[in-house]
Each structure stands twice: as C-alpha cells, then as structure tokens.
A and B are shown apart, each in its own frame.
Chain A
Amino acid sequence: MRLTKIVFALLLFLLLLNGCANNVGGSKPSKPGALYVVRVSQIPQNDFAPFQTSVKDAKTVEQLYEAALALPSVPPGGVKHLCLDDPGLIYHLDFRPATLPFHEMTLNPGGCQLLYLGKTDARQMDSTFLSLFGKTIKVSWLDAPSL
C-alpha cells in the first residue's frame, strides 16, 4: 500500500516536471496561422524601398515558424566570423496569434545573416531557411531593393 502511494506521488511529480521542462524548451500553446512582414531600412542613407506583405496560408506560415525555431543559436560570445556586407536591411516578422512564444522576429538577410526570435535570442540562418522565407513571402529575399 505504501509502495503504491509512493509510486503514485512519483508519477504525479514526473508529470509536473515534464510540464515544466516542455515550457522551458518552448512549448507551443497554439500554432501560427498568419504572418505579417515589413521590410525596413535601418540606415537611411541606403534607402531601401519599403515593402510589406502578409501570408495567411496557415500550413506555409507554420512551416516557416517551425523552421525558425529549429535554427541553431548563436553562441553567447556572438558571431566570431566575417560576414556579408550589412547594409542595414531587415525584415520584421509578426506571426499571429500574438500568444505564440516568439510571435515577433527580426530577419537580417545581409551581414551575419541572423534571425532574432524576440529581442535577444539570435539564431544563425542558412540558405535553406532564407530560401524558405523567400518562398513564403513570394519575393526573393532581397529582391528588388529598388534604390
């Protein structure tokens, strides 16, 4: 009887622990259903033409969101290699619903090609992800800066 109680308590504890671990790892309370994208020129002198679009195909948006979360993190010391030219062109990504753990992202296709989940979680993009991003917004990822 006592053993049964211990096992029951242990199971309860493990369930709670599992729940906590999943939250720490970034559980998904809901799936993304839409994406709003705005291109911004951070350096006024370079003057990239403004661009914005929205994607409402839930499957496509979810695929991009999941791919973003799977990108490798940049080590704590930051980028230690040389990079493409960084002319200050970035894309703001706003996934909906806003209750998603990382509904706001910032994508820099130039420079060190980083994607920020939120404000500080930097991820290293690769050509596969950038290609997927281009397909998702139906624009070559740096297409027609139209300076």
Chain B
Amino acid sequence: MVNRSNPAFRYFASIQRKRWGCNLKTKTSRLASRVMLLLISSFFLLLGQFAANPLAYAQNATPVVENRQVEKNLDCLQPPQNVNLMTLSDTQLQSYGLPNRATIEGNPKKWSRLLAHAKHRSCSSIPTEQQNQIPTASCPAPTSQCTSYNWAGNEAQGSRGTYREGSVEFIAPSISTSISDAEVALWAGVGGDPKITSSPVLVQAGLLIYVNNNREYFETFWEVVPGFNITNLPLPHSISVNDDLYFDIQSNSLTYPNQDYFYVENYSRSDYASHILNTMGTQYNSDSATGECIVERIGGPNGLPLAQFQENGQAKNTVLLTNCGVGIQGQGGVQPIGSFPHHYNVLIDANGSTMSTVGPITNGGWNYTITWVRGT
C-alpha cells in the first residue's frame, strides 16, 4: 500500500534513520508522544467517517431484537366469569379482545365451545419460532405436491384477495432437546406464497417451540411478513406438552376490515389472548391468495435445525393438525381446507433431503398430519 519510491515516504524514512542515533530515553519519549498523537488523530478520523455514514456502522451493530419476555399489562380487562360470552355485544366483545359478533355467528358451534373456555385473558404482544398424499398435478396446481425449503403442510389457493381467515388446532407436541438450537413453528395463516402470487404478504399466528439450556419452551406468536418480525402473544399461564391450542387469524376480512386480527386460545387452561393490527393505509394486509396450516423450519435452507416433534398418541415424530380451516371473503367463518382447491408442501433441506412429510387430509377436509424426518 505504501509506495516506497514516493518522495514523501523517502523524506519521512530519512528522518527516521537520522534519529536512530539519538539516546534511548529521548527516542522512547518521542515515540510515545507520536503514538499518542496518532491514536488521537485516528480516533477523530474514524469518528468523522462514522458521522459521514452512520448507517453503515449501525447496520452491523444492531442485532435483531428477540424479546421472549412476557410483559404484564395491568389494564387488561378480564371477561366476566358468570356470563355467557356468546351473548355479549360487539362493544363488549371488543373490550375483552374477543372476536366480534360477525365472526362468532359465522360458526356459532365452534365459538360456543371456545368461548366457554375463554376465562383468563392476556393482553401482551411483544416482539421477539410417512404417509404422503398422492399428487395428481404439477406444482402448484390444485392437488399437487410442491417442495419447500421451509414449509410443510396444505395451502388452499386462489386469486389475490380470496382467503381472509385461517384457523388451526393441535395438541402441543414435545420436542427433542438433544439439539441446542432446534426450533419448530406450527401456525395458521393467510397469504405468503410466492408460487401463487407476486409481492406476497403473510399474516399468521401460531406456536413456536424451541430448545434452550436443554429444555423445551413454548411461545405463542403473531407475525406479518414482510413487515413485523415474530411477536410474542403470551397467554396468562405457560403452555405445557399436551395442551389443546387453537389459533385464528383474519386479515382485512368483512368482520375486521383494514385490520389483521390474531386470536390464540389454550383450551386446556381456559386462557386466551388476542391482538389487532390496524392496516389502514399500510401494506400489512395479506395478499390472501392462499390460506394454510403449516409446520415451518425457521430460517429456511440455511436456518436453524428443525426440532424433532412428537404429539402424544400420534405415530412416531408426528403431529396432527385439526380444524384446519380457511375463510373466504363474503362467507362467515372458516370451512375445511380440503373443501378448497389446495396443494401441499413437503419440506426439504438445502441438499434436497426430505425433512418433513404431509399426511392425507381426513375428517371431512379438516385434519392432516405432519411427520418429522430429519432435523438438518
């Protein structure tokens, strides 16, 4: 980098050679003062560069915030314990963070069951995770098998704006804690598939299960992609293996226009939580070209290991997704995903090896299994 034929360099070097004959004490003293001068000047130089382009430095210095802490909300209005929640008005339902009347009346049988167990409310939302179907067409045509680096499950498919609501229910599985950074997410969502539409926007809610210090942790979440990173939607009580969990999301639906609505309920503990994201004038409404119930590998082909999951009572390394439904604009509530044009995704790793498979749709179009095959 230094041009030794440069006159300035030779001048500087000759000065250094002449001074070599000085006594050691003087030389050391001068050297120390020069080093000090250089350090000070370097500091100001680097400070100047930072001032000229602070973003370049800030981008490298700012980590992704992943807050897994549960925030207490003292203004969280709890639902009355001795009242049939099915009879509440829209205003009352809204004050308790429950779905509005239009949503409930869209499927009164389901909501009667869910609301009977909606006793303990949480209001936090904190930024913070084989038996194959037989494809009959080429991906992503309906009934086809597609392959994904991060999703396993079924997707109802249509044109943009079709699917405005999605739901799923499952029993919280256990995961193997032998891999320290393994994670898996199980969720319901609408939108987010670039195979089906350009500029996809995914609106989702579900359960993230991850390993930390050789223990498994459960975290309910909502997320809008792109736009909002995974955000904790905590329940009043912690989740345990075998808990019965239900998730429902709506995006710019008739009942929640210009809003994304997220609802999670732990049926086993009578806990629930909800969150509304106002989307008026933003790009955070789903593309709504798909509605899906998915098991996801965090980070895709170069991401985290897929946690080895096991639902009690199911086949080895298998979880059963039940009540997987999607709702289309103009219809109240959700219908079984199997009743809509749909395809399914098999999850593979970067080398093309299968990581998770998808079982056939059963129970009138509502249920199917996902089976873990490998973690990396």
Contact = CB atoms under 8 A, between A and B. Distances in A.
B300 A86 contact: yes
Contacts of B20: none
A127 B199 contact: yes
Interface stretch (A30-38, A50-58, A60-68, A105-113): A105-113
Contacts of B303: 78-79, 112
A82 B225 contact: yes
B273 to A, nearest CB: 18
Contacts of B46: 21
Contacts of B298: 79-82
Interface residues of B, number: 64
B197 to A, nearest CB: 8
Q: Is the interface of A mostly helix, strand, loop or mixed?
A: loop
Contacts of B138: 47, 147
Interface residues of A, number: 49
A45 B41 contact: no
Nearest to A144: B198
A49 to B, nearest CB: 12
Contact of B146 (A13, A16, A21, A46): A46
B373 to A, nearest CB: 16
Residue of B139, B141, B145 contacting most chain A CB atoms (<10 Å): B139
B45 A80 contact: no
A20 B42 CA distance: 12
A78 B181 CA distance: 12
Nearest to B185: A82
B83 interface: no
B202 interface: yes
A72 interface: yes
A19 B3 CA distance: 13
B281 to A, nearest CB: 15
Nearest to B9: A12
B312 to A, nearest CB: 25
Contact of A45 (B2, B60, B145, B300): B145
Contacts of B147: 43, 45-46, 87-88
A84 B37 contact: no
A19 B49 CA distance: 12
A56 to B, nearest CB: 25
A113 to B, nearest CB: 6
Contact of B60 (A47, A73, A81, A109): A73
Contacts of A21: 45-46, 49
B146 A87 contact: yes
Interface of B: 1-2, 8-9, 12, 15, 34, 37-38, 41-42, 45-46, 49, 53, 55-56, 59-60, 62-64, 66, 129, 138-141, 145-151, 155, 185, 187, 192-195, 198-200, 202, 204, 223, 225-226, 229-230, 283, 296, 298-304, 345, 348, 352
Interface of A: 5-6, 8-10, 12-14, 16-21, 25, 43, 45-47, 70, 72-73, 75, 78-89, 109-113, 126-127, 130, 140-143, 145, 147
